[in-house]
Amino acid sequence: RARPRFLRLRGIIPLAIIALAAWIFILSVLVVELPSDDPWFYDSRVAFSGVVDWAKIALGVRPRDCAVALPIPFSARLPLVFPNATKRNATRIPPIVHFVFGYSGNVALSFLNFVAVASALHVLRPEKVLLHTQHEPTGMFWELVRPYVTLVRARTVDSIFGNPMSHYAHKADIVRLEALIQHGGIYLDIDVVVLRPFDDFMNNEVVMGLQGNDGLCNAVIAAAPNATFLLRWYDEYRNFGRVANTSNWDYHSVVLPRILAKRFAQDITQLPFRSFHWPLWTDEGLQLMFGSFAYAYEENRAVHTWNTAVKSSKFRDFGMHWCFECRSTLVSMLRAYVPDPLFSAVVPCESAGGEAMGVRMASALRSLAAQRLSSWEALVVDSRDGCAATAAATLEEPELAPLRARERLGPAG
């Protein structure tokens, strides 16, 4: 006897669900594994992957809610507005933040560099931020924080006490110590994200955080001017390169300050390792930072993101675009620093190219529109050959029609 129709359908539904799940799996693999050599391919892939991301959430592969809040909420609505310096009683450590930038040769401010500066301005509320550099930074992110930062021309460091010095990291070590000895304040590596205020230890003479059990890392230093501990530390550079291991990557920046702290404990306050430098730069630590929700940063005053280690890890392509995906606790928190409206830097209209470059610009802008971001703006930098006009004439989408041509103003656009 024939089965009722609804019973026959009940047998088909599970098969349809299985087929749909298999299709979603194959589709997601294709999207993740496709090559991205073409500069605009990534954009179309992101636009397409929204469906796949939704499917993964529906299957429980990724967290349903990855909107992890910062300890101190931040809004990156443009133009950026930072609170005025907190009115506080005079402290031994002055409310000045120092960064050293550009000694590695790269002068383009990255998204992570931007977050480091913006988080210091937002959370610490300093009276001023000093960026010690030999060349002014460039790029979109620099333009966003430029009004809040004072540039300080950093000296060329070729030697210290007659001892040759060639590595950019060692040169930056000298610049930060000299700046703190002269001015006092808070030094931060430009890959350190500040999460909580430092107010409770600003009356100490010197404050540093443990790196593991055997080091004090110089990526975060808070100090009074002419602090005794810093003067002793600086004087130890008389032996730089002359004694075995003293020119190693981290001897003077991590190992030596811990040795001095054990001998002169009265001159320094040592904070627990989770204060600034946890997770570590190891594979496991980078996984916690960029690929896991297992760590909540409940004890962190700041997070040292170990940019040098990241560049040689599987997370080397970290950038602002990661903040639109549920990748980790830290990355989800950083989403608060994504500029809104999102300024998307696209290919500049160069004089070499003319009409062809205009057509390529139009293609790039269509790709940008395909992202379906909630809000964005395109900055088009035009030469005098009518490139932007060609792009505007090529476009058909009404939301992209109003293009404003600008004369190129230099490397920073």
pLDDT tens profile 168-220: 889 999 999 999 999 999 999 999 999 999 999 999 999 999 998 889 999 99
Work out the pLDDT band at 245, boundaries 50, 70, 90: low
Condensed to tens digits (0 to 9), the pLDDT of residues 231-241 reads: 999 999 999 98
Q: Is the pLDDT of residue 162 over 90?
A: yes
pLDDT, residue 68, reads 87
Instruction: Give ∠ CA 98-99-105 in degrees, rounded to 5.
Output: 155
The residues pairing with 194 across neighbouring beta strands, listed in sequence order, are 302
Cα 17 from Cα 21, distance rounded (Å) = 6
Give the per-residue pLDDT at 360: 64
Percent of the chain with pLDDT over 70: 65
Mean pLDDT, the chain, integer:
78
Question: 345 or 269: which carries more pLDDT confidence?
Answer: 269
Reported confidence tier of residue 295, pLDDT bands at 50, 70, 90: very high
CB 65 within 8 A of CB 178: no
Confidence of residue 363 (pLDDT cuts 50, 70, 90): low
- Which of 83-90's residues contact partners 24+ apart within 8 Å by CB, and which partners? 83/122, 83/125, 84/125, 85/125, 85/126, 85/127, 85/128, 86/125, 88/199, 88/202
Residue 142 has pLDDT above 70, yes or no: yes
Say if residue 271's pLDDT is above 90: yes
| Helix, strand, coil share of the chain (percent; to 5) | 40, 15, 45
pLDDT band at 409 (very low <50, low <70, confident <90, very high): very low
**Confidence label for 41 from pLDDT (cuts 50, 70 and 90):** very low
Tokens 């940019």 belong to which residue? 307
Is 156 in contact with 124 (CB distance < 8 Å)? no
**Alpha-carbon gap, residue 281 to 290, rounded angstroms:** 11
For residue 43, give both structure tokens. 């954009």
Q: Greater confidence, 379 or 110?
A: 110
What residues does 97 pair with on adjacent strands? 129, 186
The three-class DSSP label of residue 41 is helix
Q: What is the pLDDT of residue 58?
A: 37
Q: Residue 397: its pLDDT value, please?
A: 55
Q: What's the confidence (pLDDT) of residue 141?
A: 83
Which helix or strand (DSSP H or E) is residue 304 part of?
A: strand 302-304
Per-residue pLDDT, 113: 95
Q: What pLDDT does 317 receive?
A: 87
Which two tokens mark 111? 């998204």
Query: What confidence category does residue 333 fall into, taking pLDDT thresholds of 50, 70 and 90?
Result: very high
Residue 53 pLDDT grade (very low, low, confident, very high; cuts 50, 70, 90): very low
State the number of CA atoms in the 13 A half-sphere of 86 facing the CB: 17
Give 288's pLDDT tier (boundaries 50, 70, 90): very high
% of the chain surpassing 90 pLDDT? 49
What is the rounded distance in angstroms from the CA atom of residue 355 to the CA atom of residue 349?
10
Q: What letter represents residue 290's amino acid?
A: F
Residue 340 is predicted with a pLDDT of 78
Q: What is the pLDDT of residue 57?
A: 34
| Closest to 53 in 3D by CA, of 303, 243, 404, 326 | 326
Averaged pLDDT, 5-24? 61
d(CA 157, CA 165): 7
Q: Pick the residue with more confidence: 71 or 380?
A: 71
Most confident range (mean pLDDT) of 40-44, 140-144, 236-240 is 236-240
The 10s digit of each residue's pLDDT in 366-393 is: 655 555 554 455 555 555 556 666 666 6
Res 372: pLDDT:
52
Residue 51 has pLDDT above 70, yes or no: no
The pLDDT value recorded for residue 110 is 87
What confidence category does residue 143 fall into, taking pLDDT thresholds of 50, 70 and 90? confident
The dihedrals phi and psi of 153, each to the nearest 5 degrees, come to: -70, 115
pLDDT of residue 378: 58
